[in-house]
Structure 1
Amino acid sequence: MSPRADDIPIIDLGSCLAGQPEAIERAARELRAALTEVGFYFIVNHGVAPDLIRNTFHQAARFHALPPDRKMEVRIDKHNVGYLPMRGDTLRTSTVQAVTKPNLNEAFFVARDLPADHPDVVADRRFRSANRWPSDLPGFREAVVAYCDTMERLVRRLVPLYARALGLPPTYFDAPFAEPQYKLRMTHYPNQPALADDEFGIAPHTDTSFLTLLAPNEVSGLSIRSRDGHWIEAPVLPDAYLVNGGQMLQRWTNDVCLATPHRAVNRSGGERYALAFFCDNTIDWPIAAVPTTVGPDRPPKYPTTSYTDYMVEYQKRTYDLLNADAKAAD
């Protein structure tokens, strides 16, 4: 088994990404253990330049330093791109805690940067819109797109490991992830010095994604719920991405892989920023359990769905601001 940091496995991708077959199989075994026992793991030697990560954190801080009215010019829309203001969402979908209070964070969401004349944008297809970029923030768009492009390339190098971890050919996920859906969430958590126990930067929840890549963070604040119910403080591990699966991975694997609850509270005394890259299959691909996770004694637990159908329902239950807009339009 791979080394661990406070019960979270660490997978070294160096030899694996170099194409060494024995390293690929070893990493796949470590990945399966991580996804079925913990639901989170660190990756090191992943090939993402530290300067790119630092600059993207800087861009997040630049955006959130804008005046509120400037940020609200690009407020979040039905496609889940743009600015989500402070206390703009409530995680009623949580399976581990009754959540009634909105999250104490603000976030800026970015998807694939489609041009305005793209057929899906022109047709106003759900979750395939153009991004909502702030004006007069030089270099912001270019830097964020460069980061997203790098994250997409990393995902494409990870999904063959997921296939092998599930006993499938390494190319199994190539077609489903030919043009993956993704969202980058650039989050700002203000310090929470003395708030109620049931108020969080982000409340206990599971992600919706197939996989989430959390950028190396110098400011702690994330906690992970173990299978026995206790909370693990995620350590600060320099240059290591923290990766987890979500509800889509559960559906793909018929609950073989975990969607582990996690939460965030910023008690650092300063500001905390986070870069979460949520990635899923291409928008049209039918999401159903892979063949190695079903059988006569293990029928599929979930009906086949699509990214759009699943996320429409999730958004209705989560984003207070959008729900208020919808009610006002009725």
Structure 2
Amino acid sequence: MQSLPIISVAGLNSPDPADRARVAAELGRACREVGFFYVVDHGIPAERIQRAFGDARQLFELPLRDKQAMSIKLSPHNRGYVAMADERLNPRAGADMKEAFNIGTEFAADHPDVVAGKPFRGVNFWPELAQWRDRMLTYFNDCLELGRLLHKGFSIDLGLAETHFEEHLAEPVATLRLLRYPASAHKEAREDAGAGAHTDYGNITLLATDEVAGLQVLTRQNEWIEAPYVPGAYVCNIGDCLMRWSNDIYVSTPHRVRPPKRERYSIAFFLEVDPDAIVDPRDVVPNAEPKYPPVTCGDYLAARLNATYAHRQPGA
């Protein structure tokens, strides 16, 4: 049975161009063939990842009224608490049995983009838990730096300047999402009751998981395969925006989460680019006929999110 490739990305930091090219080629192969891979030797300390899981558990153990006070329904910028069954990643299949908490790029309330009300440029909600905010922002920045490193690899693989995506990742639309899936009490629950079958919307997703099984990936042979826990590794997948930007050279792959037999936690980091960045395939593959018209990252992401949350208004 097919399995996801495991890629060491340490070579992307090497001063030797041959080392960087070798890792980039591995990334490119995975991005073209399956759109999913494991990332190891990424440089994020294991204890910092485990601490983030502890903080997630602390957040979800808060009383519901405290979590609802930070509801995503109160934010037009995709930040805050998502209650159980509030989300439908596959609207035709029904509600997802999970709760979540979204943390976006941190901006002060007086930041010009926040004052101007620009999409995805709002303030975060923070629970009243000691040092919780500081620890989460540290982990957020760890993931952001890893995401930037992977984009360096994509640039090399696509034959672009190594810094091609760098200018678009200065203040990106990035979301750190804490997720809790309760143990399923129903033997007849649908296969994707944890999270409906879907593709991700942005450039890449970095996923840290606990040891409870659940994530499945749809292969090109139309078979669902398990993405098992690999100690110390992130599961990385290509999102729809990068697939569009690469003119379908890279593939965004459907995946789902089965209802777990026991409580399951995961932490996803969704990385897009700056909201005003123009996503235009002609910038990446200039000699090919573009399959998609140019669009800003912010407009594209807003259109996708509007379809996910029933309570959202157009443009929110």
Q: TM-score, normalised by structure 2?
A: 0.93
The 8 Å contact of residues 220 and 266 in structure 1, kept in 2 or not, is answered as: no
Residue identity (%): 36
How far apart are 1:248 and its partner, in Å? 0.4
2:312 corresponds to 1:311: no
Q: 3-state DSSP class of the match of 1:318?
A: coil
User: Could you tell me which amino acid in structure 2 is paired with residue 162 of structure 1?
Assistant: F
* Contact 2:191-2:259 within 8 A present in 1 as well: no
Query: Is contact 1:201–1:264 with CA below 8 Å preserved after alignment?
Result: yes
* Distance apart, 1:124 and its partner CA: 2.0
TM-superposed deviation, 1:323: 5.1
Q: Distance in 1 between matches of 2:283 and 2:302?
A: 27
Partner of residue 120 from structure 1, selected from 113, 117, 138? 113
Verify: 1:62 aligned to 2:58, yes or no: yes
Amino acid at match of 2:5: P
- The 1-side partners of 2:284 and 2:304 are apart by 28
Q: Which residue identity lines up with residue 174 of structure 1 in the other structure?
A: E
Give structure 1 regions of 4+ aligned residues with deviation exceeding 6 angstroms. none
Equivalent runs, 1:82-93 vs 2, <5 Å: 82-92=80-90
User: Contact between 2:191 and 2:258, CA under 8 Å: does it hold in 1?
Assistant: no
Q: Which residue of 1 aligns with 2:174?
A: 182
Structure 2 vs 1, CA of residues 322 and 28 (structure 1 numbering), >3 Å: closer, same or farther? same
Provide structure 1 residue ranges, at least 5 long, that are not aligned to the other structure: 93-97
Map of 1:95 onto structure 2 = none
Q: List aligned pairs for 1:173-252, cutoff 5 A.
A: 173-193=165-185, 194-197=187-190, 200-252=193-245
Write the distance in 2 (CA, Å) between the matches of 1:42 and 1:125: 34
Q: TM-score, normalised by structure 1?
A: 0.90
Question: How many aligned positions are there?
Answer: 312
Decide whether the 8 Å contact of 1:216 with 1:239 is kept in 2.
Answer: no
SS at the partner of 1:168?
Answer: coil
Aligned mate of 1:19, from 15, 25, 29: 15
Q: What does 1:110-189 correspond to in 2, within 5 Å?
A: 110-134=103-127, 136-189=128-181
Answer whether contact 2:28 2:157 (CA < 8 A) is retained: yes
**Farther off after superposition, 139-148 or 116-125:** 116-125
**What is the rounded CA distance, in whole Å, between the counterparts of 1:15 and 1:139 in structure 2?**
34
| Structure 2 counterpart SS, 1:242 | strand
For residues 130 and 30 of structure 1, what CA distance do their matches in structure 2 show?
A: 38
Q: Work out whether 1:100 is the aligned partner of 2:93.
A: yes
Q: Secondary structure at the match of 1:183?
A: strand
Tell me by how many angstroms 1:216 deviates: 4.4
Q: Structure 2: which amino acid aligns with 1:84? A: V
On the 8 A contact 2:7/2:38 being kept in 1, the answer is: yes
- Corresponding residue SS for 2:256: strand
| Contact in 2 for aligned 1:11/1:31 (Cα 8 Å) | yes
Alignment root-mean-square deviation, CA: 1.9
What SS does the corresponding residue of 1:227 show, helix, strand or coil? coil
Q: C-alpha separation between the residues in 1 aligned to 2:45 and 2:110?
A: 32
Q: Secondary structure at 2:5's aligned position in 1? A: strand
Which stretches in structure 2 are left out of the alignment for 5+ residues?
Answer: none
Contact 1:31 1:161 in 2 (8 A): yes
Aligned-pair CA distance for 1:196: 2.7
